[in-house]
Structure formats: structure tokens, C-alpha cells
Amino acid sequence: MKKSKKTWFGLWLDKPRIAMSRRRFEGALAVGLSVGLLIFGCFAIIDFKVFVPPPVSYNSLDYDVKVLENGDMRVVEHVDVRLGQNTEHNVTEPWHHLNQSFKLDAGSLMAINDVTVTNATTKKRYTEKGMPDPNEYMDDRIWDADYAGHWYLVDTTLTDAPYDPAQVRLIDRGTDTMGLTTKTKGAAGVEPTDGALTGSGQQSWNPDYLNALNHPGYRDANGTTQSEHQRSEISRPRDNATVDLVLNIPTTMTADSMKFDIAMTFKGVCTASPDVAYLKWEPVGDGNTAPIKKVNATVKMPPGVTSKDSWAWLHYDGPSRIRQDPDGTVHFSAENIHGKRHLDFVGMFSGDYSKDMARTGVDLAKQRIMDDERGEQRQYQQVVRMRLFPFIGILLLSVLLAMADLVISVRGNVRMKFPDDLDYWRDIPDISPSAAARLFEVLSSDGAGGVPLEFKQMSATLMSLIQKKAVAIHPGKAERYKGVDLVSISPAGAEVWIRDHKTDFDDSDKSDFTLTLLPVCESHRSSLHLYESEEALLELFMDVEGRHLPVSFDLAQFNSDLKANPKANLLVRKYKMSIYNEYTALNLSKPCGRGVFALTTLAFFAAFAIVMVYNTVFEYTAPLFGAMCTSLVISLAVFAKAFSMEFKLTDAGHMQAVKVLGLVRYLNDFSDFTDLDVPDMVLWGDYLVYATAFGISDKAVLLLSKVNSIVGAAKNMNAAPLSPLYGMLSHAALVDSNSANASNPWSVATAGSSVAHAGGSLLSAMGTQLSTGFGVLWQSVSAASSPESGGASGGFFSGGSGGGFSGVGFGGSGGGSGGSAFGAS
């Protein structure tokens, strides 16, 4: 006997076992990855922003800022904007404007001047030009010639009026953007007018001015025109103003990148208190709706300031960094700034470096600001912990469940009670082909080549009936054999008849067989020694086609008759139950893996909870990170479930596994043996029955026939009794052959020789033909078991610090100077 080799972990090393493990592992891995990718893809599609970016977004926004000793701030922006399609109400229009909005008030930003705009790509300098008349029609050609390449500032507080810093008068409310008490030179003490905010928070305006806005040609009773009313109202003192910087760009449908350098001076940004000077600047305000991928900024303090007498903080609820150089220069960055999020910079330096600032503080500010920033940072850290703990908790729970799932699955595979003294087994197992197919399924846990277990069981059972001569089988449709006695015809007579009527066969006959239920099934059935599953299939045939034997029918007829039988569902259930009872009575295996199923289910629920918790607490940052975590956990859980063993062997199963796996090894290596003799050849048909049960019939047909040609020629096998199955395949080959003078298929040596010369293609085609024909039978039975007729086939089954530092931002308060918002039109 040929012994199998052992590995250090106690499992035998043989071709079938390695193939089983590898197929199961690769199949489980493929399923796990596929499900994970599918889940991730669904989340990505749902988050449409991944695939459909907004019409206006910024690739980057870089700032170079100088804080001047007089409290002003020189700001240089390097803008890189992306413009998608400008579609509204299914109408696509070109882009003509880029705009940036600023908020003015006496406590943060008093005015904007000294504006310059340059196209960073072409180096063209944009010039200031008044805003175009919105009522004037102009085509794209006129726009590009007369208006593109210019910029203007517009006061949008009331209506689109040209912005003039000299005319905008802001009321000093006595506090700045940090909430500290201040005084403003030239504005302090101004009494509120009817242009000031009322107690309800709404601005009231002169009714004549409102009429002028709605009627361009309007004149009041005194003859005052619209423009005169406009100038009058704009110059009235007010609490705040909104100013837009508008760039007239050439007509553009879409652009992946448009770069501009914009410089301007912010007036009155800093406040000088008795001990320090400070500012709160907001490069991106809550009113911004255009996403910005990344913001980088460099802020230089007034000359003489160092890291020892300056401090800085960054307010941003997202990925960010902030650091300070020894000379006091601060660098900060922020990523993924979505709409409605603010980015604020708070800077503070010694009051010794301030001079003639327009706004002054009444009280000491240094400690107050530090305390406020520390308080905001602590509060934000508490919020982050409240966010982080649920997410980390559910993530760890999901991973632990998936890992426990995997550990149980792997241990189940390692501890599977396989026989460790496996030899070749040349005899036929003493269990039915149907039970052998089920046991092999348990041992391999992955099927064979994707062939359903129920198909293998029925095919092997039918072939066993043919092998035991309970059923005769001939290739082609039953109508081809009218007038032929298929019960008493000899093999030689069948050969002659098929040769004489070969032209009557067509392509439809290649996938059909004619079955004849022989009289022995009725008169001397006990002599056939049928297994319970074989009895059940035979009874199914007789219940459908009739009990007056002999009776002949092809698979197409059986399919039609089964559908027409009102008791078809009951008959099929009876057949299925016999298969189940037969295997159960043998007590070969027991179910296991329920723990894996439970853990997989829990891991699924926990994994989906990951993305729900993440989207709740981190809705703005890396929206697909939670989906990725969920997909990974699900992939791991699905892999564990797919790789797990669903059954374990009993002692009886252990004994039968030796025979089943030994026979599989023997059939796979059949043609490699040189010590084969006549008994091996006599078992040809039985081998083919169980090869079908194991899902390797195609290979077995080729190997068995190849050996037949060698052994038969050497040992005069022609006189030996041949298997009915070999005759079946030979006749099928004769029908399928294109040669009118095909050699005698009943000759073992001749058949084997044809395989050798044809490279096995002929018998490979017969194996395919066999599978196709039996597939019709299986589909018929499956369809009949469906609860509803006509339905589908039924199967059998950041904070900061001073003195030079590096850190991250935190989600502090907004409302700093500028409150910038970006857009296009």
C-alpha cells in the first residue's frame, strides 16, 4: 500500500486534502474580500461627494500674513480653485465670477484696502473696475473683451453697491471679537441711529431707500434719486457690513485648477491692551460653503517679536497642525474643510511691539485670553473623548468578535477529526453513492468545482441504478427508438442499430438520454440490493412514468411529465427525505460551527454600528474611514464563516472517511499505477459511480479509459464482462462522433486507443454530455419542489502654547476677523 506523508501539525499531505484546504481557503478569502469591497462600494456610492464633487471647491488655499505694529494685517492669498459644471434647473451656464466675502465690524475688522489681484498662471495683473450693470445683457464674447481680467469690491449688506472704506461707518459696541472691553479711536462714543440694530436684532431702514431699491427710476417727494438714497444709507453708522471681493474671470465652463494671488490689507485687526496685543483672524468662516482640501498659512509677527513673548492657538475641529519658529513666526495647516466650518487663528504678543493701534483694550488681557483658550481646549478635549470612546469601543468590540470568529473557525479546521493513517482504497465504500457524496462534501467543505451536492447525489444514484442493471440507458431522445426492444437488445445489437440510424440523431440528442425501467425492478427488486436513496429515485421514476414495466422515456419527457403531475411536489419531497434519512441513520457527522454563525451575526451588527457611530461623531472628517473599518470587519467575519467547518466526524464517520478519501486518492492517481489487474477493470462502472458522487467524473472517465486501453490490450480484457456505464458512454460517443466509420466502441482496447490518439477530447465531451443530461433531470426535480409553480428553481438546499512649539488645533470658538466665505457664479 502507498502511505501518505505527514506534516508536523498532524494532517496528511495528499493531493485531495491539499486541494480541499486550498480551495476552501481561497474560496473563503474571495468571498470575504468580495463582500467587504461590496459594502465599501455601497457606502462610497451613498456618500455622493466622493464621486460627484461640488460645483465649486478649492484645491488649496495658502496664506502669507504679516501682522503690522499698528494693528493692521497684510494678507496675501494663493488661491487654487476648481470649477465644475454650473448647472441649475438642468441648465448649464458658464462661470464668470470668483468671489470672497468678508465681515466688517468695529471689534474685529474695520476696513479692507490696498487690493491687488494677479493670475498666478499667466502672471496677468487684474485691474479694478466697477461692477457691471446686472440689467445689461452681454454675450460671452463681450464679457471676455470688456469685463474679464478685472476685480471690484462690493458692499452687499443692503444691495450690491460699490464698497468705499471712507463711507462705511461702523458703530463701536465697546467689545472686540474676543469679548473684551475695548475703545476704538474715531468711532467710540458714536450714538446709535435708525441704522443701528434694534432690540429684535433686525436692521430698520428708511422706507424711501427701500422703494429706491425696488424701483431703479424712483424719486421721492423731494426729487432724491436712487443713487443718492444709496449713498446716504451706506454712509449711515451701522454695526457690521458684508463686503465681497469679486474677480471677473474669462468665460469658463469647467476648470480643474485656476490659480490667483490676491493681496489686501485688513485694517484694525489687532487690539492693544495694557499688557499685550492680540488678534483673532478667521481665514475661513462658518458661512463658507465651498469645500477646501487644505489650508496652509504663515503668520509673521511685528519686528522684534520672538517665541518667548508671543503665543498662538488654532481653532479647527478637524485634522490640523500649528507650530511656531523661534522668531515668533507661526505656521499652521488644516485639511478637509467642509462647508459651514470655521478656521480661526488666535495670536498674542507683547504690547511692547504695538504702536498706534486703532482699537485699545481697557483691561489686562494676557491671562484672560490664556485662561479662555485653555478652557476652550479642555472643553473640546472632553467633547473629543465623548466622541472617541463610543467609536473606539464599538470598533474594538467588532474586531474582537471577528477575531474570535476567526479563531474558532481555524481551530475547527485544525481539530477536524480526519483519519491520520490514510492509504489508497481500491474497494467500493459500503455506503450509498448519495451518502458518499454528502460525506465527501463534509470532508472537503467546499464542494467540487462548484457542482451542487444535490446534483452529484442524483447523478451518482442514477448511475448506480444503471450499473446495477435496474435501468437501461441509451443516448438520444426516446422517439429515436420507436419499434426497438430496449429491454432485450444486446450491446452489439444496440451498436448496429445506432450505426444504421446515426443520421436520425441531431444536436438535441447529445444532451438527452433515454431511460428504460427494466422488469427486474418490479419482479425481483430485492436481488438488486438497492440502497434507500436508490429505491427512492426508482420509485420517483415509476410514480411519474408509470408502474407497468418496462417503460422508456427520455429526460425531456420526464421533465414534462413531472411538471404535469399534480403530486410532483410531494413525490420530490419524499425522494429528498429518503436521502436525508439515509445519511442521518448512518451517523457519520454532526453539525458544528453554530458559535461561528452567532459570532458572525454579532460582528455584522457591530460592524454596521461602527459606521453609524463614526458618522455621528466625526461627520466632517474622512467620511469613508468609518466605512473602511466596517468593510474590514465584515470581510474578516465573512472569511471566518466561509472557512469554518459546518460538521465534525463521528467514530463511524471516521471509518468511512478512510474509505472515501482513500478512494478519491486512488481515482486521482488511477492511471499512475502499474500493478492494476482485471479486478480493477471489472470495478470500472462502480468507480465511475462514486467518481460522480465526488464530483470528479470527467477526470475519472479519462483515466479509467486510458488504463482500460493499456491493461485490456495486455491481458485480453475484451472477454471480460463490461460495465453498463462503459457501454452508455461508448454509445454516447458514437452518437457524438462525426465519423461514419467509427471503430467499435464496445472494444475496450479500441476505445482506450481512441482516447490516447484524440488526447481525451472524445471522452471529455462524453463527460460534459453526461453532466448536461443529468442536469436536466436535477433541474426538473428542483423545479418540482418549488412551493409555487412557474417560480424559480427550488434547490435541495488642538491647542497652542508660547515660546516656540508644535501641536494641533482644537475646536474652539469662531467669529474672528474676516469670516471669509468663498464662492463663484
- State residue 346's pLDDT score: 92
More confident: 274 or 415: 274
pLDDT confidence bin for 46, thresholds 50/70/90:
low
260 bridge partner residues: 79, 119
**Sign, Cα dihedral of 146, 149, 150, 154:** positive
- Asked if residues 746 and 726 have their Cβ atoms less than 8 Å apart, the reply is no
Mean pLDDT lowest among 116-125, 422-431, 779-788: 779-788
Does position 807 have pLDDT exceeding 90, yes or no?
no
Cell of 689: 459511480
pLDDT confidence bin for 191, thresholds 50/70/90:
very low
Mean pLDDT lowest among 194-203, 243-252, 315-324: 194-203
End-to-end CA distance of the chain: 86
- The listed range with the strongest mean pLDDT (98-107, 647-656, 719-728) is 98-107
Cell of 615: 458618522
Tens digit of each residue's pLDDT (9 = 90 or more) over 513-544: 788 888 888 888 888 889 998 988 888 888 87
Does position 438 have pLDDT exceeding 70, yes or no?
yes
Q: Percent of the chain beyond pLDDT 70? A: 66
More confident: 56 or 50: 56
Biggest CA–CA distance in the chain, Å, is 131
Torsion from C-alpha of 641, 647, 648, 653, nearest 10 degrees = -150
What mean pLDDT do residues 684-710 have?
71
More confident: 543 or 312: 312
pLDDT confidence bin for 734, thresholds 50/70/90:
low
- State residue 80's pLDDT score: 94
pLDDT confidence bin for 192, thresholds 50/70/90:
very low
- State residue 630's pLDDT score: 82
Mean pLDDT lowest among 294-308, 334-348, 774-788: 774-788
H or E stretch covering 12: strand 12-13
What mean pLDDT do residues 755-761 have?
30
pLDDT confidence bin for 503, thresholds 50/70/90:
low
Cell of 60: 488649496
Does position 314 have pLDDT exceeding 70, yes or no?
yes
More confident: 157 or 9: 157
Mean pLDDT lowest among 6-10, 91-95, 409-413, 647-651: 6-10
- State residue 768's pLDDT score: 45
475 bridge partner residues: 513
pLDDT confidence bin for 408, thresholds 50/70/90:
confident
- State residue 9's pLDDT score: 34
- State residue 21's pLDDT score: 61
Q: Which string of b and e fits 369-381 if b means at least 16 CB within 10 Å?
A: bbebbeebbeebe
- State residue 165's pLDDT score: 80
- State residue 711's pLDDT score: 44
More confident: 740 or 331: 331
- State residue 43's pLDDT score: 74
Mean pLDDT lowest among 82-91, 563-572, 806-815: 806-815
CA 124: distance to chain centroid?
46
Do the bridges between strand 125-128 and strand 150-155 make them parallel or antiparallel, or are there none, so unpaired?
parallel
Cell of 198: 434694534
- State residue 86's pLDDT score: 84
What mean pLDDT do residues 48-70 have?
82
Does position 56 have pLDDT exceeding 60, yes or no?
yes
User: What backbone torsions phi and psi does residue 461 show, to the nearest 5 degrees?
Assistant: -65, -45
Mean pLDDT lowest among 218-232, 494-508, 611-625, 631-645: 218-232
- State residue 816's pLDDT score: 65
- State residue 528's pLDDT score: 85
**Sign, Cα dihedral of 116, 120, 123, 126:** negative
What mean pLDDT do residues 545-554 have?
76
Cβ contacts of residue 178 below 8 Å, gap of 6+? 271, 278, 280, 346, 365, 369, 372
- State residue 347's pLDDT score: 92
Q: In what order do the strands lie in the sheet with 271-272?
A: 182-184, 359-361, 271-272, 276-284, 343-350, 310-315
pLDDT confidence bin for 418, thresholds 50/70/90:
low
Tens digit of each residue's pLDDT (9 = 90 or more) over 114-138: 999 999 999 999 999 887 776 666 7
- State residue 739's pLDDT score: 39
- State residue 184's pLDDT score: 78
What mean pLDDT do residues 195-201 have?
37
Mean per-residue pLDDT of the chain? 73
- State residue 724's pLDDT score: 66
Does position 745 have pLDDT exceeding 50, yes or no?
no
- State residue 116's pLDDT score: 94
- State residue 305's pLDDT score: 92
